[in-house]
Amino acid sequence: MKIGYPTETHAWTALAPGRETAVLRQLTSERFPSGTWEHGTWGAQPWRTGSNLYELWEPYRTGQKPPQPDVRQAVSCVAALAELHRKHWVHGDIQPAHLIMGDAGTFIIDLALAQGGPIPAELDFAYRGCLVHYEAPEISRSVLQTGFAIPTRASDVYALGASLMISATGQRHVNYPDDAERRDQRKAIAYGSNRAVEIPGQLGRLIAAMMSRRPAERPTADEVCRQLAPFCKSTNQT
Q: Is the pTM of this model over 0.85?
A: yes
On whether both 162 and 137 belong to a single domain, the answer is yes
What is the C-alpha separation between 131 and 63, in angstroms, rounded? 27
Whether residues 17 and 97 share a domain: the answer is: no
Do residues 105 and 197 both lie within one domain? yes
Environment class of 209 (CB within 10 Å of its CB; exposed 0-12, middle 13-18, buried 19+):
middle
Q: Which residues make Cβ contacts (< 8 Å) with residue 8, sequence separation at least 6? A: none
User: Do 158 and 70 share a structural domain?
Assistant: yes
Q: Are residues 58 and 167 in the same domain?
A: yes
Residues 28 and 125 in one domain: no
Together in a domain, 116 and 187? yes
Closest by CA to 157, choosing from 136, 137, 180, is: 136
Amino acid letter, residue 95:
Q
Question: Are 78 and 221 within 8 A, CB to CB?
Answer: yes
Q: List, in sequence order, every residue forming a beta bridge with 100; answer none if it has no partner.
A: 52, 107
Q: Cα-atom radius of gyration of the chain, to the nearest Å?
A: 18
Same domain membership, residue 83 and residue 157: yes
Low-confidence ranges of the chain (pLDDT < 70): 233-238
Supply the pLDDT for residue 174: 97
Neighbours of 113 (CB within 10 A): 21
Structural domain boundaries enclosing 6: 1-46
pLDDT at 153 (0 to 100): 98
DSSP 147: S
Total count of residues recorded for the chain: 238
Q: How many domains does the chain have?
A: 2
pLDDT of 238 reads: 24
Q: Give residue 235's pLDDT.
A: 40
Same domain, 9 and 122: no
Q: Cα torsion for 175, 180, 181, 186, to the nearest 10°?
A: -10
Do residues 125 and 213 both lie within one domain? yes
Indicate if 11 and 108 belong to the same structural domain. Answer: no
Residues 31 and 73 in one domain: no
Q: What is the DSSP string of 204-231?
A: HHHHHHHT-SSGGGSPPHHHHHHHHHHH
Indicate which CATH number applies to the domain containing 138. 1.10.510.10
